[in-house]
Amino acid sequence: VAQDVVALEDVPPFERSSVDGFAVISSDVIGASTQTPVRLTISGEILMGKPASGALRPGHAMHIPTGGALPTGADGVIKVEDTRESEGHVEVLDGRGVRDHVTARGADVHRGDALRKAGDVLTAAALGMLAGAGHAGVSVYKKPVVGLLVSGDELVEPGRPLRDGEIRDTNSISLLAALRAMGCAPHLYPRVVDRREALTRAFAQALHDSDAVVVSGGSSVGERDYTPAVVAAAGTPGVIVHGVRAKPGRPTLLGVIGDKPVIGLPGNPVSALVMLETLGKPILLRLLGKRDETVPVRARLAHTIDVHPGLEHRIPVQFVKDGDDFTAVPLLGTSAQMRVLGFADALVIVPEGMGIMEAGSWVDALPLTRSGGLR
Protein backbone atom coordinates (compact mmCIF):
# COMPACT_ATOMS: atom_id res chain seq x y z
CA VAL A 1 0.00 0.00 0.00
CA ALA A 2 1.31 3.46 -0.88
CA GLN A 3 -0.49 5.48 1.79
CA ASP A 4 -1.19 5.38 5.51
CA VAL A 5 -4.71 4.04 5.87
CA VAL A 6 -7.11 4.88 8.72
CA ALA A 7 -10.56 3.42 9.32
CA LEU A 8 -13.35 5.43 7.67
CA GLU A 9 -16.06 3.91 9.84
CA ASP A 10 -16.68 2.28 13.21
CA VAL A 11 -16.78 -1.53 13.07
CA PRO A 12 -19.35 -2.68 13.93
CA PRO A 13 -21.27 0.47 12.95
CA PHE A 14 -23.97 -0.04 15.61
CA GLU A 15 -24.45 -1.78 18.95
CA ARG A 16 -25.34 -5.38 18.19
CA SER A 17 -26.06 -8.78 19.66
CA SER A 18 -23.42 -11.50 19.61
CA VAL A 19 -25.95 -14.32 20.17
CA ASP A 20 -29.43 -15.44 19.11
CA GLY A 21 -31.88 -14.55 21.86
CA PHE A 22 -33.87 -11.70 23.33
CA ALA A 23 -32.95 -8.03 23.65
CA VAL A 24 -33.80 -6.90 27.17
CA ILE A 25 -33.28 -4.13 29.69
CA SER A 26 -30.65 -5.52 32.04
CA SER A 27 -32.30 -4.20 35.21
CA ASP A 28 -35.42 -6.26 34.31
CA VAL A 29 -33.57 -9.58 34.52
CA ILE A 30 -31.38 -9.18 37.62
CA GLY A 31 -31.52 -12.38 39.68
CA ALA A 32 -33.46 -14.38 37.06
CA SER A 33 -32.84 -18.12 37.45
CA THR A 34 -34.56 -21.45 36.82
CA GLN A 35 -36.11 -21.20 40.31
CA THR A 36 -37.03 -17.52 39.97
CA PRO A 37 -37.62 -16.87 36.26
CA VAL A 38 -38.48 -13.36 35.05
CA ARG A 39 -41.44 -13.13 32.67
CA LEU A 40 -41.29 -10.51 29.90
CA THR A 41 -43.74 -9.59 27.14
CA ILE A 42 -42.41 -10.13 23.61
CA SER A 43 -42.95 -6.89 21.74
CA GLY A 44 -41.45 -7.64 18.33
CA GLU A 45 -38.53 -9.01 16.37
CA ILE A 46 -35.29 -7.43 15.21
CA LEU A 47 -34.53 -8.26 11.57
CA MET A 48 -31.00 -8.51 10.12
CA GLY A 49 -29.97 -5.39 8.28
CA LYS A 50 -32.85 -3.34 9.74
CA PRO A 51 -33.15 -1.01 12.72
CA ALA A 52 -35.68 -1.91 15.44
CA SER A 53 -39.20 -0.71 14.70
CA GLY A 54 -39.42 1.02 18.08
CA ALA A 55 -37.84 1.40 21.51
CA LEU A 56 -37.87 -1.40 24.06
CA ARG A 57 -39.99 -0.63 27.12
CA PRO A 58 -39.48 -2.01 30.65
CA GLY A 59 -40.99 -5.45 31.12
CA HIS A 60 -40.61 -6.25 27.43
CA ALA A 61 -38.19 -8.23 25.25
CA MET A 62 -37.58 -8.48 21.49
CA HIS A 63 -36.37 -11.44 19.47
CA ILE A 64 -32.88 -10.64 18.23
CA PRO A 65 -30.57 -12.66 15.92
CA THR A 66 -26.76 -12.81 16.10
CA GLY A 67 -25.60 -9.53 14.57
CA GLY A 68 -28.96 -7.83 15.02
CA ALA A 69 -29.05 -4.15 16.09
CA LEU A 70 -30.06 -3.51 19.69
CA PRO A 71 -33.25 -1.47 19.94
CA THR A 72 -33.16 1.86 21.78
CA GLY A 73 -33.61 1.22 25.47
CA ALA A 74 -32.17 -2.30 25.43
CA ASP A 75 -28.78 -2.80 27.05
CA GLY A 76 -28.56 -6.57 27.23
CA VAL A 77 -29.30 -9.84 25.46
CA ILE A 78 -30.40 -13.19 26.90
CA LYS A 79 -29.32 -16.27 24.96
CA VAL A 80 -32.19 -18.30 23.59
CA GLU A 81 -30.88 -21.33 25.53
CA ASP A 82 -31.52 -19.43 28.79
CA THR A 83 -35.18 -18.77 28.02
CA ARG A 84 -38.50 -20.54 27.71
CA GLU A 85 -40.96 -19.05 25.25
CA SER A 86 -44.75 -19.26 25.45
CA GLU A 87 -47.62 -17.46 23.73
CA GLY A 88 -46.31 -13.88 23.49
CA HIS A 89 -44.11 -14.15 26.56
CA VAL A 90 -40.61 -15.27 27.40
CA GLU A 91 -39.31 -16.53 30.71
CA VAL A 92 -35.70 -15.63 31.43
CA LEU A 93 -34.05 -18.55 33.27
CA ASP A 94 -30.61 -17.02 33.73
CA GLY A 95 -30.00 -13.29 33.97
CA ARG A 96 -26.25 -13.47 34.57
CA GLY A 97 -23.89 -11.94 32.03
CA VAL A 98 -26.73 -10.21 30.20
CA ARG A 99 -24.42 -7.38 29.11
CA ASP A 100 -21.76 -9.76 27.80
CA HIS A 101 -23.75 -10.56 24.69
CA VAL A 102 -23.72 -6.98 23.46
CA THR A 103 -20.96 -5.79 21.13
CA ALA A 104 -20.41 -2.05 21.40
CA ARG A 105 -20.27 0.13 18.33
CA GLY A 106 -16.61 0.35 17.28
CA ALA A 107 -15.59 -2.62 19.47
CA ASP A 108 -13.55 -4.04 16.59
CA VAL A 109 -12.22 -0.89 14.90
CA HIS A 110 -12.80 2.78 15.66
CA ARG A 111 -13.16 5.33 12.92
CA GLY A 112 -9.72 6.94 12.57
CA ASP A 113 -7.76 3.93 13.85
CA ALA A 114 -4.50 3.38 11.95
CA LEU A 115 -4.91 0.17 9.93
CA ARG A 116 -1.88 0.25 7.63
CA LYS A 117 1.27 2.25 7.05
CA ALA A 118 2.64 3.05 3.61
CA GLY A 119 4.92 0.19 2.57
CA ASP A 120 2.92 -2.48 4.40
CA VAL A 121 1.79 -5.55 2.52
CA LEU A 122 -1.91 -6.05 1.87
CA THR A 123 -2.60 -9.61 2.91
CA ALA A 124 -5.97 -11.20 2.25
CA ALA A 125 -6.97 -10.46 5.83
CA ALA A 126 -5.74 -6.85 5.61
CA LEU A 127 -7.80 -6.30 2.47
CA GLY A 128 -10.84 -7.63 4.32
CA MET A 129 -10.14 -5.38 7.29
CA LEU A 130 -9.87 -2.28 5.07
CA ALA A 131 -13.05 -3.17 3.18
CA GLY A 132 -14.80 -3.78 6.51
CA ALA A 133 -13.76 -0.31 7.68
CA GLY A 134 -15.33 1.34 4.64
CA HIS A 135 -12.53 1.53 2.07
CA ALA A 136 -13.70 1.00 -1.50
CA GLY A 137 -10.08 1.40 -2.67
CA VAL A 138 -6.65 2.46 -1.47
CA SER A 139 -3.64 3.57 -3.46
CA VAL A 140 -0.92 1.01 -3.93
CA TYR A 141 2.48 1.04 -5.57
CA LYS A 142 2.64 -0.04 -9.16
CA LYS A 143 4.61 -3.26 -9.44
CA PRO A 144 8.07 -2.46 -10.74
CA VAL A 145 8.59 -3.80 -14.23
CA VAL A 146 11.80 -5.82 -14.14
CA GLY A 147 13.44 -6.76 -17.43
CA LEU A 148 15.03 -10.20 -17.26
CA LEU A 149 17.85 -11.02 -19.68
CA VAL A 150 19.27 -14.53 -19.75
CA SER A 151 22.47 -15.09 -21.67
CA GLY A 152 24.34 -18.22 -22.71
CA ASP A 153 24.89 -20.02 -26.04
CA GLU A 154 24.65 -23.39 -24.27
CA LEU A 155 21.11 -22.89 -22.96
CA VAL A 156 18.05 -24.73 -24.22
CA GLU A 157 14.56 -24.35 -22.83
CA PRO A 158 12.77 -27.44 -21.51
CA GLY A 159 10.60 -29.12 -24.13
CA ARG A 160 13.25 -28.91 -26.84
CA PRO A 161 15.80 -31.70 -27.48
CA LEU A 162 19.22 -31.27 -25.87
CA ARG A 163 22.21 -31.66 -28.14
CA ASP A 164 25.77 -32.41 -27.07
CA GLY A 165 27.22 -29.62 -24.96
CA GLU A 166 23.89 -27.97 -24.31
CA ILE A 167 22.21 -27.63 -20.92
CA ARG A 168 18.77 -26.70 -19.74
CA ASP A 169 18.00 -23.06 -19.10
CA THR A 170 17.13 -23.06 -15.39
CA ASN A 171 17.34 -19.37 -14.62
CA SER A 172 14.71 -18.07 -17.01
CA ILE A 173 12.14 -19.98 -15.01
CA SER A 174 13.55 -19.67 -11.49
CA LEU A 175 14.35 -15.95 -11.69
CA LEU A 176 11.01 -15.17 -13.32
CA ALA A 177 9.17 -17.01 -10.55
CA ALA A 178 11.28 -15.41 -7.82
CA LEU A 179 10.78 -11.90 -9.21
CA ARG A 180 7.05 -12.45 -9.38
CA ALA A 181 6.95 -13.82 -5.85
CA MET A 182 8.80 -10.71 -4.63
CA GLY A 183 6.01 -8.52 -5.96
CA CYS A 184 7.59 -7.40 -9.24
CA ALA A 185 6.21 -7.59 -12.77
CA PRO A 186 9.04 -9.38 -14.58
CA HIS A 187 9.37 -9.44 -18.34
CA LEU A 188 11.54 -12.18 -19.84
CA TYR A 189 13.25 -11.25 -23.10
CA PRO A 190 14.37 -13.77 -25.73
CA ARG A 191 17.57 -15.51 -24.72
CA VAL A 192 20.68 -13.47 -25.48
CA VAL A 193 23.56 -15.07 -27.36
CA ASP A 194 27.12 -14.62 -26.11
CA ARG A 195 28.07 -11.69 -28.33
CA ARG A 196 28.73 -8.27 -26.97
CA GLU A 197 26.57 -6.47 -29.57
CA ALA A 198 23.67 -8.83 -28.82
CA LEU A 199 23.83 -8.09 -25.10
CA THR A 200 24.27 -4.36 -25.73
CA ARG A 201 21.13 -4.27 -27.86
CA ALA A 202 19.04 -6.45 -25.54
CA PHE A 203 20.20 -4.50 -22.48
CA ALA A 204 19.29 -1.15 -24.03
CA GLN A 205 15.83 -2.47 -24.87
CA ALA A 206 15.27 -3.90 -21.38
CA LEU A 207 16.49 -0.70 -19.75
CA HIS A 208 14.15 1.34 -21.90
CA ASP A 209 11.11 -0.83 -21.10
CA SER A 210 11.69 -1.47 -17.39
CA ASP A 211 12.16 0.05 -13.95
CA ALA A 212 15.08 -2.32 -13.25
CA VAL A 213 17.06 -4.91 -15.17
CA VAL A 214 18.29 -8.33 -14.04
CA VAL A 215 20.88 -10.07 -16.19
CA SER A 216 21.66 -13.76 -15.76
CA GLY A 217 25.05 -15.07 -16.88
CA GLY A 218 28.20 -13.42 -18.15
CA SER A 219 28.82 -11.43 -14.97
CA SER A 220 32.26 -12.90 -14.28
CA VAL A 221 35.65 -12.08 -15.78
CA GLY A 222 35.73 -14.70 -18.56
CA GLU A 223 36.44 -13.80 -22.15
CA ARG A 224 32.77 -14.03 -23.10
CA ASP A 225 31.41 -12.41 -19.93
CA TYR A 226 30.08 -9.19 -21.38
CA THR A 227 27.75 -7.97 -18.64
CA PRO A 228 30.29 -5.69 -16.86
CA ALA A 229 31.40 -3.99 -20.06
CA VAL A 230 27.86 -3.60 -21.39
CA VAL A 231 26.55 -2.10 -18.13
CA ALA A 232 29.56 0.21 -17.88
CA ALA A 233 29.00 1.47 -21.42
CA ALA A 234 25.23 1.89 -21.06
CA GLY A 235 25.27 5.10 -19.04
CA THR A 236 26.11 6.62 -15.71
CA PRO A 237 26.93 5.91 -12.96
CA GLY A 238 27.26 2.37 -14.43
CA VAL A 239 28.84 -0.46 -12.45
CA ILE A 240 28.84 0.18 -8.70
CA VAL A 241 29.88 -3.24 -7.41
CA HIS A 242 31.58 -6.07 -9.29
CA GLY A 243 32.48 -8.98 -7.06
CA VAL A 244 31.08 -9.73 -3.62
CA ARG A 245 32.98 -11.41 -0.78
CA ALA A 246 30.26 -14.03 -0.49
CA LYS A 247 29.54 -17.54 -1.66
CA PRO A 248 27.66 -18.53 -3.73
CA GLY A 249 27.54 -15.63 -6.14
CA ARG A 250 30.97 -14.06 -5.93
CA PRO A 251 30.95 -12.57 -9.45
CA THR A 252 27.72 -10.61 -8.88
CA LEU A 253 27.44 -7.13 -10.33
CA LEU A 254 25.35 -4.20 -9.08
CA GLY A 255 24.92 -1.10 -11.16
CA VAL A 256 22.71 1.88 -11.77
CA ILE A 257 21.93 3.51 -15.10
CA GLY A 258 20.19 6.83 -14.51
CA ASP A 259 17.82 5.90 -11.72
CA LYS A 260 17.37 2.27 -12.75
CA PRO A 261 19.03 -0.49 -10.74
CA VAL A 262 20.85 -3.23 -12.63
CA ILE A 263 21.55 -6.60 -11.03
CA GLY A 264 24.05 -8.81 -12.86
CA LEU A 265 23.81 -12.38 -11.62
CA PRO A 266 26.25 -15.23 -12.24
CA GLY A 267 24.79 -17.93 -14.46
CA ASN A 268 25.20 -20.77 -11.99
CA PRO A 269 21.64 -21.51 -10.96
CA VAL A 270 22.25 -21.53 -7.20
CA SER A 271 24.36 -18.36 -7.29
CA ALA A 272 21.82 -16.56 -9.42
CA LEU A 273 18.87 -17.28 -7.19
CA VAL A 274 20.68 -16.81 -3.88
CA MET A 275 22.05 -13.45 -5.00
CA LEU A 276 18.71 -12.29 -6.34
CA GLU A 277 17.18 -13.25 -3.01
CA THR A 278 19.79 -11.65 -0.76
CA LEU A 279 21.21 -8.68 -2.71
CA GLY A 280 18.61 -8.11 -5.40
CA LYS A 281 15.42 -8.35 -3.38
CA PRO A 282 16.05 -5.43 -1.00
CA ILE A 283 16.91 -3.23 -3.98
CA LEU A 284 13.79 -4.23 -5.91
CA LEU A 285 11.54 -3.88 -2.87
CA ARG A 286 12.68 -0.28 -2.48
CA LEU A 287 11.25 0.43 -5.91
CA LEU A 288 7.83 -0.33 -4.51
CA GLY A 289 8.37 1.22 -1.11
CA LYS A 290 8.01 -2.20 0.47
CA ARG A 291 10.01 -3.12 3.54
CA ASP A 292 11.73 -6.49 3.35
CA GLU A 293 9.47 -8.57 5.52
CA THR A 294 11.61 -11.73 5.67
CA VAL A 295 11.34 -12.90 9.28
CA PRO A 296 14.09 -15.33 10.31
CA VAL A 297 13.19 -18.76 11.65
CA ARG A 298 15.17 -20.11 14.62
CA ALA A 299 16.16 -23.69 14.04
CA ARG A 300 18.74 -26.16 15.30
CA LEU A 301 21.47 -27.07 12.88
CA ALA A 302 21.35 -30.78 11.96
CA HIS A 303 25.00 -31.06 10.81
CA THR A 304 28.11 -29.01 11.28
CA ILE A 305 28.82 -26.44 8.59
CA ASP A 306 32.53 -26.12 7.85
CA VAL A 307 33.36 -23.60 5.16
CA HIS A 308 36.21 -21.30 4.20
CA PRO A 309 36.27 -18.44 6.73
CA GLY A 310 37.51 -15.89 4.21
CA LEU A 311 34.06 -15.31 2.73
CA GLU A 312 30.51 -14.86 3.89
CA HIS A 313 28.56 -18.02 3.05
CA ARG A 314 24.88 -18.43 2.44
CA ILE A 315 24.01 -22.05 3.07
CA PRO A 316 20.69 -23.42 1.81
CA VAL A 317 18.89 -25.43 4.49
CA GLN A 318 15.83 -27.63 4.58
CA PHE A 319 13.56 -27.53 7.62
CA VAL A 320 12.77 -30.93 9.07
CA LYS A 321 10.36 -31.28 11.97
CA ASP A 322 12.00 -32.91 14.97
CA GLY A 323 9.60 -33.28 17.89
CA ASP A 324 8.49 -29.77 18.85
CA ASP A 325 11.43 -28.11 17.10
CA PHE A 326 12.55 -27.67 13.56
CA THR A 327 16.05 -28.64 12.56
CA ALA A 328 17.80 -26.97 9.67
CA VAL A 329 19.53 -29.54 7.47
CA PRO A 330 22.33 -27.89 5.46
CA LEU A 331 22.21 -28.79 1.77
CA LEU A 332 25.81 -28.79 0.65
CA GLY A 333 27.14 -28.89 -2.87
CA THR A 334 28.37 -26.63 -5.61
CA SER A 335 26.57 -23.58 -6.93
CA ALA A 336 25.96 -25.46 -10.18
CA GLN A 337 23.83 -28.06 -8.40
CA MET A 338 20.22 -27.00 -8.45
CA ARG A 339 19.41 -29.84 -6.03
CA VAL A 340 21.14 -27.81 -3.35
CA LEU A 341 18.54 -25.10 -3.67
CA GLY A 342 15.71 -27.16 -5.09
CA PHE A 343 14.97 -28.69 -1.69
CA ALA A 344 15.83 -25.61 0.38
CA ASP A 345 13.39 -23.68 2.56
CA ALA A 346 15.79 -21.03 3.80
CA LEU A 347 19.34 -19.69 3.87
CA VAL A 348 21.67 -19.66 6.86
CA ILE A 349 24.32 -16.97 6.78
CA VAL A 350 27.81 -17.88 7.98
CA PRO A 351 29.50 -14.50 8.47
CA GLU A 352 32.96 -13.84 7.10
CA GLY A 353 35.61 -15.01 9.57
CA MET A 354 33.44 -17.69 11.19
CA GLY A 355 33.82 -20.77 8.96
CA ILE A 356 32.39 -23.33 11.39
CA MET A 357 28.90 -23.64 12.81
CA GLU A 358 28.48 -26.64 15.09
CA ALA A 359 25.76 -29.25 14.74
CA GLY A 360 23.07 -28.62 17.37
CA SER A 361 23.61 -24.86 17.56
CA TRP A 362 20.68 -22.51 17.04
CA VAL A 363 20.70 -20.55 13.83
CA ASP A 364 18.50 -17.85 12.30
CA ALA A 365 17.44 -19.11 8.87
CA LEU A 366 16.03 -16.66 6.32
CA PRO A 367 13.11 -18.22 4.45
CA LEU A 368 13.31 -18.04 0.66
CA THR A 369 10.56 -16.11 -1.08
CA ARG A 370 7.72 -18.47 -1.84
CA SER A 371 6.97 -18.79 -5.51
CA GLY A 372 4.17 -16.71 -6.90
CA GLY A 373 3.97 -18.74 -10.12
CA LEU A 374 4.94 -17.72 -13.62
CA ARG A 375 1.88 -15.86 -14.86
Task: Look at residue 369 and give the partner it binds from ligand AMP, Mg ion, none, a contact being a CB closer than 5 to 8 Å depending on partner kind.
Answer: none
Shortest approach of ligand AMP to residue 333 CB, angstroms?
14
Question: Who contacts 127 (Cβ-Cβ below 8 Å, separation ≥6)?
Answer: none
Among 12, 68, 152, 316, binds ligand AMP (CB under 6 A): 152
Asked if 228 touches Mg ion (CB under 5 A), the answer is: no
CB 116 within 8 A of CB 96: no
Asked if 264 touches ligand AMP (CB under 6 A), the answer is: no
Asked if 251 touches Mg ion (CB under 5 A), the answer is: no
CA distances from 117 to 4, 6, 145, 282, 288 (A): 4, 9, 23, 19, 14
Asked if 264 touches Mg ion (CB under 5 A), the answer is: no
CB 160 within 8 A of CB 168: no
Shortest approach of ligand AMP to residue 154 CB, angstroms?
5
- The gap from C-alpha 108 to its chain's centroid, in whole angstroms, comes to 23
Among 169, 211, 277, 345, binds ligand AMP (CB under 6 A): 169
Residue 194 or 211: which CB sits closer to Mg ion? 194
**Residues 222-251 interacting with ligand AMP (rule: CB under 6 A):** 222, 225
Q: CB atoms < 10 A from the CB of 19, how many?
A: 19
Asked if 106 touches ligand AMP (CB under 6 A), the answer is: no
Alpha-carbon distance of 172 to 299, in angstroms, equals: 32
Shortest approach of ligand AMP to residue 338 CB, angstroms?
8
**Applying CB under 5 A, which part among 36-44, 94-102, 151-159, 180-188 lies near Mg ion?**
151-159
**Applying CB under 5 A, which part among 118-126, 213-221, 337-345, 351-359 lies near Mg ion?**
213-221
Burial of 198 (0-12, 13-18, 19+ CB in 10 A): middle
Shortest approach of ligand AMP to residue 195 CB, angstroms?
13
Shortest approach of Mg ion to residue 152 CB, angstroms?
4
Among 17, 43, 210, 220, binds ligand AMP (CB under 6 A): 220
Alpha-carbon distance of 141 to 288, in angstroms, equals: 6
Among 76, 106, 183, 217, binds Mg ion (CB under 5 A): 217
Question: Who contacts 116 (Cβ-Cβ below 8 Å, separation ≥6)?
Answer: 1, 4, 5, 122, 126, 130, 138
Alpha helices in 254-312 (DSSP H): 269-275, 281-287
Asked if 170 touches ligand AMP (CB under 6 A), the answer is: yes
- Contacts of 118-122 spanning 24+ positions with Cβ under 8 A: 118/1, 118/2, 118/3, 118/4, 118/289, 119/1, 119/289, 119/290, 119/291, 120/1, 120/291, 121/1, 121/290, 121/293, 122/1
Residue 61 or 265: which CB sits closer to Mg ion? 265
Asked if 252 touches ligand AMP (CB under 6 A), the answer is: no
CA distance between the termini of the chain: 22
Shortest approach of ligand AMP to residue 330 CB, angstroms?
22
Number of residues interacting with ligand AMP: please give it, by CB under 6 A: 20
**Applying CB under 6 A, which part among 122-130, 157-165, 267-275, 325-333 lies near ligand AMP?**
267-275
Alpha-carbon distance of 203 to 197, in angstroms, equals: 10
Residue 222 or 360: which CB sits closer to ligand AMP? 222
Burial of 62 (0-12, 13-18, 19+ CB in 10 A): buried
Asked if 12 touches Mg ion (CB under 5 A), the answer is: no
Closest CA to 189 of 159, 163, 216: 216
**Applying CB under 5 A, which part among 3-11, 134-142, 159-167, 259-267 lies near Mg ion?**
259-267
Asked if 217 touches ligand AMP (CB under 6 A), the answer is: yes
Alpha-carbon distance of 259 to 12, in angstroms, equals: 46
Provide the binding-site residues for ligand AMP, judged by CB under 6 A. Answer: 150, 152, 154-155, 167, 169-172, 216-220, 222, 225, 266-269
